[in-house]
Chain A
Amino acid sequence: QSALTQPPSVSGSPGQSVTISCTGTSSDVGSYSRVCWYQQPPGTVPKLMIYDVSHRPSGVPDRFSGSKSGNTASLTISGLQAEDEADYYCSSYTSSGTVVFGGGTKLTVL
């Protein structure tokens, strides 16, 4: 049950786009569409931003989009805003019937 691999940090200026990658294996990301992305500003509870690779829950801005290729999922945030600054985590269902999270990525809006 190794954690999914995410870059520790990414940054971008307001209005720009950033992409956060999430690399797993053929036993998790590569085999299932149950990939999610969560946003967690400091001191708050995680919030679901993307589910099933690319679906947005109601209320999540369409600036947030998800995709997957092979064993790697990606979260893209376009038109960066100051309020997007947070930690982002990916997760995936696994062939063992468990769930695995990524190590998290700190997004800094410059």
Chain B
Amino acid sequence: EVQLVESGGGLVPPGRSLRLSCAASGFTFDDYGMHWVRQGPGKGLEWVSGITWNSGSTAYADSVKGRFTISRDNAKNSLYLQMNSLRAEDTALYYCAKDMGEGSVDYWGQGTLVIVSS
């Protein structure tokens, strides 16, 4: 059974940093690309970032480019999102998601909540 478990969310003041983690199990992690997708309170889904199986390629939404960095450690079956210069509009539930091919997501974690507020 595929499991994706996010952690690292919390309440942080604007301008500060936070690092999210996602522990993956139930599939061969280093065979698949991964994504971070977020959902603001009462809002729709917003793709944040993606990374290929071997970290050879990464991509970001314009809204986070230059502030967020996606990475992975295949030896630890883990995905990360380093978030710097956080803004109020980054407040959201952040989902870790498994790619099944060019941006199609077949499994989602339960999400970790990030609140950016003073």
Q: Show the binding face of A for B, using Cβ within 8 Å.
A: 1, 3, 32, 34, 36, 38, 40, 45-48, 51-52, 57, 87, 89, 91-94, 96-104
Residues of A within 8 A of B109 (CB): 45
**CB-based contact B44/A98 at 8 Å:** no
- Smallest Cβ-Cβ distance to A35: which chain B residue: B104
Residues of A within 8 A of B50 (CB): 98-99
Among the stretches B8-16, B18-26, B67-75, B95-103, the one at the interface with A is B95-103
**CB-based contact B60/A46 at 8 Å:** no
**CB-based contact B57/A97 at 8 Å:** yes
**CB-based contact B59/A48 at 8 Å:** no
**Which 7 A-B pairs rank lowest in CB-CB distance, beginning with the nearest?**
A99-B103, A104-B44, A93-B103, A99-B47, A93-B102, A34-B102, A101-B45
**CB-based contact B44/A103 at 8 Å:** yes
In the assembled complex, how far is the CB of residue A34 from the closest CB belonging to chain B, in whole angstroms?
Answer: 4
How many A-B pairs have beta carbons closer than 8 Å: the answer is: 71
**CB-based contact A51/B106 at 8 Å:** yes
**CB-based contact B104/A34 at 8 Å:** yes
Residues of B within 8 A of A87 (CB): 44
Residues of A within 8 A of B44 (CB): 3, 87, 89, 101-104
**CB-based contact A92/B103 at 8 Å:** yes
**CB-based contact B59/A45 at 8 Å:** no
**CB-based contact A97/B104 at 8 Å:** no
- Smallest Cβ-Cβ distance to A36: which chain B residue: B104
**CB-based contact B95/A99 at 8 Å:** no
- Smallest Cβ-Cβ distance to B101: which chain A residue: A34
**CB-based contact A1/B61 at 8 Å:** yes
**CB-based contact A52/B104 at 8 Å:** yes
Residues of A within 8 A of B37 (CB): 101
Residues of B within 8 A of A1 (CB): 61-63
Given known contacts A1-B62, A96-B59, A98-B61, A51 and B104 CB-to-CB distance under 8 angstroms: yes
In the assembled complex, how far is the CB of residue B65 from the closest CB belonging to chain A, in whole angstroms?
Answer: 10
Interface string of B12-51 (1 = CB under 8 A from A): 0000000000000000000000010100000011110010
